[in-house]
Chain A
């Protein structure tokens, strides 16, 4: 389990992240979303014991990131994908991974198996001997992901894991992340890719140098936006909008073409009432659909809109 309590990091007069508090249970995927400079990488670096917090604390299992001895133990059980792959370009993919696996003390035979498994999962095994300097950005990113995973860490920190990847490669990585979750690993992701976060994260935190909102992606949208239901009608009588607005549950209705759009609080209870009212007024309902608000809508409203 990862527990952050008031984690704060300042660089001189600049506050990178302030009062970051979160609990991430084991086996979950946690996403950190925010614009550039919001403190995402700094937070990940603190949790990876690369930099020390200015104040606050964080525990990974029973180890405190602020203590030097604990930091050694934490590093042993984490895998980090930094925002830039940072590979040794003259060496092959295999040697790059082998180097890190050795530093994590993995025995030779197990090392070979682990490297083969990760490179095969990321479809790079056939090119393991080629110097990675000649690889595309996406391939380098995949090797960097493999490097973070080669020692089978319990906690995985991924900074923009699908950046530079094409859609097919992104899917491979996403599926791999879900596979890691399924085997019980805890994954902490920094990302700008909101649809990806929405698809794979159990919990997301929107940050802009401090936590703006935290929760399940869908719950965040529901909490932030009223639920909007569209009723597609066979015809729209001229007085419909005026008459239906008298209903308390449909006070914020509008007409768009053949659609009656209503903001409702409890669709499960309100939709049947509206449909009954329409039928009673000789208007047939062809379709009923609920508009979904995406994480992107949440992000844009909270981060770009400056709302809290």
Chain B
């Protein structure tokens, strides 16, 4: 195999490809729409609704509201410690190691206490367990509890179940990650299915086959010329998508959640392998049919293995982890290798040139 010849074929195809502005536009637009605009359209409303006044079964760790500018927590120097109070109104007091039940607590500092069936306003809470309690205009850290209604409050919990957002995020991340795997498998179908049969219909295949180029070099060139634009636009959308999603999510989670390890492995291993699988299958189809439309129709089937992965993930049957990503990347790469050798073995110059049905 002389890679130089494959490189020459690829460069010529890309030269031709550059002249097809509408095709380039669609190849760039599809990943941008599916991998950037669609996730933003999902996440922006999602995070904005999740951070509004929300009733939590167990409040979320990720909640980061802030007090209105003209409100503040007030307190006095009065101290209550090691007490159990019920049905009281407590104001301007520092409370520690207390158990408050059915109380209205206003402008207090509460440490290491338990509060149930109460209302807390304009207070500062630390290391406190809250149960069936409404908290308004307050701050809290190191909290724990259940059935809490937080209104305009900034509460941080150390021992909680995940918040609605933190439950939704991984699922959404998986969905979007699937987009970045399905898209590179779908994008090359048009270019790759055209690769051989297009040249045949254009009658440029005969002089090309009369050059010293081998079957393997020809196939490799055709594969690269479909693979590179598809992966290029996928990576462009990936970088844009990740950047913009981080911009949206950082205020709510406090750190850039993307790309995580799974995303990095998937985009570096599974996406190219899936893209290559699609390209190989389409080039194979393209070398066996005599009509571009037939090639494109059949090319639609080649994304099936990728759709299987997507359905597995979305249905919850398959949990994405670094390990599963690597396993799938290996499986796809194996299929890729097999497809290449199969395509080369069944590539028949005579049949391509002489069969028109």
- B212 and A75 contacting across the interface, CB-CB below 8 Å: yes
- When distances are taken between beta carbons in the complex, the residues of chain A under 8 Å from B205 are 86
Chain-B contact segment, one of A32-40, A99-107, A196-204, A277-285: A99-107
Complex CA–CA separation, A3 to B206 (angstroms):
23
Known: A72-B214, A90-B16, A104-B211. A50 touches B350 (CB 8 A): yes
Give A52 Cβ to nearest chain B Cβ, in Å: 6
- A287 contacts the other chain (Cβ, under 8 Å)? no
Q: Which of B1-21 contact A (CB under 8 A)?
A: 5, 8-9, 12, 15-16, 19-20
Option from A49, A78, A91 in Cβ contact (under 8 Å) with B15:
A91
Complex CA–CA separation, A147 to B204 (angstroms):
11
Give B203 Cβ to nearest chain A Cβ, in Å: 4
Residue of A nearest to B349 (CB): A50
- A72 and B212 contacting across the interface, CB-CB below 8 Å: yes
- B15 and A50 contacting across the interface, CB-CB below 8 Å: no
- A161 contacts the other chain (Cβ, under 8 Å)? no
- A76 contacts the other chain (Cβ, under 8 Å)? yes
Complex CA–CA separation, A75 to B8 (angstroms):
17
- A100 and B15 contacting across the interface, CB-CB below 8 Å: no
- B90 contacts the other chain (Cβ, under 8 Å)? no
Known: A88-B204, A90-B19. A103 touches B211 (CB 8 A): yes
- A103 and B354 contacting across the interface, CB-CB below 8 Å: no
- When distances are taken between beta carbons in the complex, the residues of chain A under 8 Å from B19 are 90-91, 131
- B212 and A87 contacting across the interface, CB-CB below 8 Å: no
Task: Identify the interface centre among B9, B204, B208: most chain A CB within 10 Å of its CB.
Answer: B204
Give A11 Cβ to nearest chain B Cβ, in Å: 7
Count of A-B contacts judged by CB separation below 8 Å: 74
Known: A52-B350, A72-B212, A103-B212. A86 touches B16 (CB 8 A): no
- B350 and A87 contacting across the interface, CB-CB below 8 Å: no
Give A190 Cβ to nearest chain B Cβ, in Å: 13
- B12 and A76 contacting across the interface, CB-CB below 8 Å: no
- A82 and B5 contacting across the interface, CB-CB below 8 Å: no
Task: Identify the interface centre among B202, B211, B213: most chain A CB within 10 Å of its CB.
Answer: B211
Q: Mark A147-174, 1 if CB is under 8 A from B, else 0.
A: 1100000000000000000000000000
Q: Mark B169-211, 1 if CB is under 8 A from A, else 0.
A: 0000000000000000000000000000000001111111111
- B16 and A50 contacting across the interface, CB-CB below 8 Å: no
Give A90 Cβ to nearest chain B Cβ, in Å: 4
Q: Which of A69-97 contact B (CB under 8 A)?
A: 72, 75-76, 78, 80-82, 84-91, 95
- B349 and A99 contacting across the interface, CB-CB below 8 Å: no
- A51 contacts the other chain (Cβ, under 8 Å)? yes
Complex CA–CA separation, A49 to B15 (angstroms):
28
Q: Which of B323-357 contact A (CB under 8 A)?
A: 349-350, 353-354
Give B20 Cβ to nearest chain A Cβ, in Å: 8
Give A100 Cβ to nearest chain B Cβ, in Å: 6
- A144 contacts the other chain (Cβ, under 8 Å)? yes
Complex CA–CA separation, A289 to B15 (angstroms):
62
- A144 and B207 contacting across the interface, CB-CB below 8 Å: yes
Give A67 Cβ to nearest chain B Cβ, in Å: 14
Give A136 Cβ to nearest chain B Cβ, in Å: 17
- When distances are taken between beta carbons in the complex, the residues of chain A under 8 Å from B206 are 45, 50, 80, 82, 84, 86
- B210 and A99 contacting across the interface, CB-CB below 8 Å: no
- A51 and B207 contacting across the interface, CB-CB below 8 Å: no
Complex CA–CA separation, A84 to B206 (angstroms):
9
Option from A49, A75, A85, A131 in Cβ contact (under 8 Å) with B203:
A85
Complex CA–CA separation, A91 to B18 (angstroms):
10
- B212 and A76 contacting across the interface, CB-CB below 8 Å: yes
Option from A52, A75, A84 in Cβ contact (under 8 Å) with B211:
A75
Residue of A nearest to B13 (CB): A88
- When distances are taken between beta carbons in the complex, the residues of chain B under 8 Å from A84 are 203, 206
- B349 and A51 contacting across the interface, CB-CB below 8 Å: yes
Option from B5, B203, B214 in Cβ contact (under 8 Å) with A86:
B203
Known: A51-B354, A144-B207. A88 touches B16 (CB 8 A): yes
Complex CA–CA separation, A145 to B299 (angstroms):
35
- A148 and B212 contacting across the interface, CB-CB below 8 Å: no
Option from B8, B20, B212 in Cβ contact (under 8 Å) with A99:
B8
Give A83 Cβ to nearest chain B Cβ, in Å: 9
Task: Identify the interface centre among B5, B203, B207, B350: most chain A CB within 10 Å of its CB.
Answer: B207
- When distances are taken between beta carbons in the complex, the residues of chain B under 8 Å from A100 are 207, 211
- A87 and B204 contacting across the interface, CB-CB below 8 Å: yes
Complex CA–CA separation, A48 to B349 (angstroms):
12
Give B231 Cβ to nearest chain A Cβ, in Å: 23
- A102 and B8 contacting across the interface, CB-CB below 8 Å: yes
- When distances are taken between beta carbons in the complex, the residues of chain B under 8 Å from A49 are 210
Give B28 Cβ to nearest chain A Cβ, in Å: 19
27 contacts between A and B (CB under 8 A): A45-B206, A50-B206, A50-B350, A50-B353, A51-B349, A51-B353, A72-B212, A75-B210, A75-B212, A78-B210, A80-B206, A82-B203, A84-B203, A86-B203, A86-B207, A87-B204, A91-B12, A91-B15, A91-B19, A95-B12, A100-B211, A102-B8, A103-B8, A103-B9, A103-B208, A103-B213, A104-B212
Across the A-B interface, the 9 shortest Cβ-Cβ residue pairs = A86-B203, A86-B204, A80-B210, A90-B19, A84-B203, A51-B350, A103-B211, A82-B206, A76-B212
